[in-house]
Amino acid sequence: MDIVWIIILGFFVGLIARAIIPGKDAAGFIVTTGLGMSGALIGATIGRLLGFRHSDQPASFVISVLGAAILLLAYKRLFISESEAN
């Protein structure tokens, strides 16, 4: 059951990150979920380094979204050409 919860949470984190980052984005469910899950993992790691011990703290969710937004920017730079972005 934990993996289902991680996928659902990753999808929502990815959706929020896509809403924050402007521009055309053709990423589907898999890419959005992957970016969200990866961002959550990065956010959890950063949160632990900053002293947030529990994942139920609101700051952990915010850091997860920021991590996913950074990954989305990197994804757009690496995989979306300038002609597709306009």
Q: Report whether pLDDT(11) > 80.
A: yes
Mean pLDDT of the chain: 76
Going by pLDDT thresholds of 50, 70 and 90, the confidence category of residue 15 is confident
Whole-angstrom CA distances from 42 to 36, 65, 77 are 10, 10, 19
Mean pLDDT of 5-32: 80
Q: What is the rounded distance in angstroms from the CA atom of residue 79 to the CA atom of residue 41?
A: 22
Cβ–Cβ < 8 Å for 48, 70: no
Which burial class, exposed, middle or buried, applies to 60 when counting CB atoms under 10 A from its CB (0-12, 13-18, 19+)?
A: buried
Q: Report whether pLDDT(45) > 80.
A: no
Q: Give the predicted TM-score (pTM) of the model.
A: 0.73
Tell me the pLDDT tens digit for each residue of 52-74. 666 566 667 788 888 888 888 88
